[in-house]
Structure 1
Amino acid sequence: MTHGPLEKPFLAADERYEHIGFRPTGASGLTLPSLSFGLWQKFGRDYSFETQREIILHAFELGIAHFDNADRYGPPIRGAQLTFGRVLEKDLAPYRDELILSTKAGGDIGPSPYTKGGSRKSLLTSLEHSLRDLGTDYVDVFYHHRPDLDVPLEETAGALVSAVQQGKALYVGISNYQPDRAEAIAGLLREAGVPLLIHQPRYSIFDRSIERNGLLELSAAQGFGLIVYSPLAQGLLTNKYLESIPEGARAANSRFLSQDSIDDTYRQRAAELNKLAESRGQSLAQLAIQWVLRKPEVSSALVGASSTWQLDHNVAALDAAPLTDEELAIIDEHGVHGTGLNL
């Protein structure tokens, strides 16, 4: 990295956009880097700020100009936004116009009925807090984090529209919506003159929900992009669990993974996928990232990292030769939907 010791001013490398590649976001004019950086894990106060800062700056130097956040990411609540806000103030402020900053609201972040859900009160209040956390006047993308069936969809859509009309967001998105509700809110937003930019669903070799429920086809028909999270299936599509469950691994305390589901069936399927990856000169993680990006509807894949090495390793997935029909057939055989996951 060109910024030298962390106490010196950060100066980004001139060649930072030469490798990552940018992809269209639906029918909009916005492009996103093939890989975006998510602060879901390991960017709260329970990790070293200097390590977090080094990873964020390294991501930007690799051309990853999109940083994805949410009000509930931490710990504590809003911790990841505060972390990024410190880096933005200290290092990335001169590059704000080059950054795509996104945040989400609507997840449960407190005991009050106004700190959760899809009401106008909840969404717009959270957005105000997020802007203060991040130290910016606007975010590029503001998401409703998950559907709220107790709030009229018109109210949720109206809050997203207001965020744009007030100049506090440039675009709006949704996350974790099923296709019927996604189609409905896309129509409401389009009628209000603020088209739905993007949907953020989970997608991986072991979680093919968006292929099975029609969301891929809907995104193309409605003109919104898809930015997929958990392409490594919470670590199942790495070599971490091929032999055993390491001490302190996510499967030991995650609501998305169960130690019981990391069984012989999972290991047999993962081992075959790993064998394919090795035959291509890749890791299983790199194969998994490349696989989700094969779909043109996917604008970007969200990745995290706990080290700059891990970030470099993930970005190297972009260098691999395209997957052949025969290789895709092998992935389909062993990449069975639901493997190892609590879906």
Structure 2
Amino acid sequence: MSYGPVDTVYTADTDRYENASFRRTGDSGLQLPSFSFGLWQKFGTDYPFETQREIIRHAFDLGITHFDNADRYGPPHRAAQQNFGRVLAEDLAPYRDELILSTKAGNAIGASPYLKGGSRKSLLTSLEHSLRDLRTDYVDIFYSHSPDLNTPLEETVEALVSAVQQGKALYAGISNYQPDRAHEAAVLLREAGVPLLIHQPRYSIFDRSVERNGLLELAEQDGFGLIVYSPLAQGLLTDKYLESIPDGARAVNSTFLNPDVITDGYRERAARLNELAAARGQSLAQLALQWVLRRPEISSALIGASSVWQLDHNVAALDFPELTDDELAIIDEHGVHGTGLAA
């Protein structure tokens, strides 16, 4: 689907839910799309707004209702929220009740001690700015972006509870928490009457931390959902780097992927995974996305896109047959934990 100039009136596709796939989030009543859209990268001022707008609108037309943001996302910080807020105001406002909007606070966005960390001051002040950026009265999910070991967890939890009690967020979430602290947060939130809805960790064929540290089991025990980020390992689980590093690729211009991790060992493993994907009639990216969603504890996987084509391609991962035990064994053999992760 193509869209006209920025001032064209947008009407959502009437068939947007016909093939959409949703999953329940932990023990809650909230359903999230199998793929949620993340604005972590390529939604700052360094990419054309018209392209960003086209992708966001197309995502909604595909039945992707959840858009994930954070005060850090840019560049500069807050730019991704501001760009999404413009799309919301100009295009998606009539559909606000159909949207799940999330944002996060706590990771550093400046040198001031009040522009980072898990204090009540930092979290709630950031949320106020985020609501203005997003041009909305509330977000559906408000996250503590990372644990702050210098702030009592009780204070961080109290800030999340306040956000919900004030009607500025409907649900509370955490991100990048290790299982012990995640459990403690879940207990404190439950005692305050605001159950932990969701945890956002990293998970991919090459990063199996949530399988190794017990977070998958904890999610089931404590009743929260998991929405995973970097399921394509910053592009390493695509065919992009099998031969070389292309000009303009993420490994060239991103702070999140060091070209030094693209080793012969990585290429050998990725090539074997790519062969398996090809035998199934899909791309390596589609295989990797399908793999993370095989786990029932996963409520949603976050995907990004730099084009409408890429978005369509990734969402098509839902159309392939389930992975067999033999195929999962091949993935386990070549999808070695730690591949591509910086030391």
Superposition TM-score tier, normalisation by shorter sequence: over 0.9
What's 1:199 paired with? 199
| Partners of 1:39 and 1:304 within 8 A in 2 | yes
Distance of 1:112 and 1:4 partners within structure 2: 42
- TM (normalized to structure 2)? 0.98
Offset of 1:253 from its aligned partner?
4.2
| Partners of 1:3 and 1:12 within 8 A in 2 | no
Offset of 1:18 from its aligned partner?
1.4
3-state SS in 1 of match to 2:234: helix
What's 1:53 paired with? 53
Distance of 1:201 and 1:106 partners within structure 2: 15
3-state SS in 2 of match to 1:114: helix
What's 1:37 paired with? 37
| Partners of 1:201 and 1:229 within 8 A in 2 | yes
Distance of 1:281 and 1:146 partners within structure 2: 38
3-state SS in 2 of match to 1:103: strand
| Partners of 1:2 and 1:12 within 8 A in 2 | no
The Cα offsets for residues 122-164 of structure 1, whole Å up to 9 and x where unpaired, read as 0000000000000000000000000000000000000000000
List gaps (5 residues or longer) in structure 1: none
What's 2:242 paired with? 242
| Partners of 2:38 and 2:304 within 8 A in 1 | yes
- TM (normalized to structure 1)? 0.98
Letter in 2 for 1:74: G
Distance of 2:43 and 2:160 partners within structure 1: 26
What's 1:101 paired with? 101
| Partners of 1:256 and 1:342 within 8 A in 2 | no
Offset of 1:7 from its aligned partner?
2.6
3-state SS in 2 of match to 1:111: coil
What's 1:15 paired with? 15
The Cα offsets for residues 230-289 of structure 1, whole Å up to 9 and x where unpaired, read as 000000000110000112222234444322221111000000000000000000000000
Q: Is 1:138 aligned with 2:138?
A: yes
3-state SS in 1 of match to 2:198: strand
The Cα offsets for residues 15-54 of structure 1, whole Å up to 9 and x where unpaired, read as 1011120001000000000000000000011110000000
Q: Percent identity?
A: 78
Q: Is 1:225 aligned with 2:225?
A: yes
Letter in 2 for 1:97: D
What's 1:314 paired with? 314
Counterparts of residues 205-284 of structure 1 (less than 5 Å):
205-284=205-284
Distance of 1:242 and 1:2 partners within structure 2: 31
Distance of 2:258 and 2:44 partners within structure 1: 24
Count of residue correspondences: 343
Offset of 1:3 from its aligned partner?
5.6
List gaps (5 residues or longer) in structure 2: none
Shift in alpha-carbon separation, 1:48–1:253, aligned structure 2, 3 A = closer
3-state SS in 2 of match to 1:315: helix
What's 2:288 paired with? 288
What's 2:77 paired with? 77
Letter in 1 for 2:95: Y
Offset of 1:5 from its aligned partner?
4.8
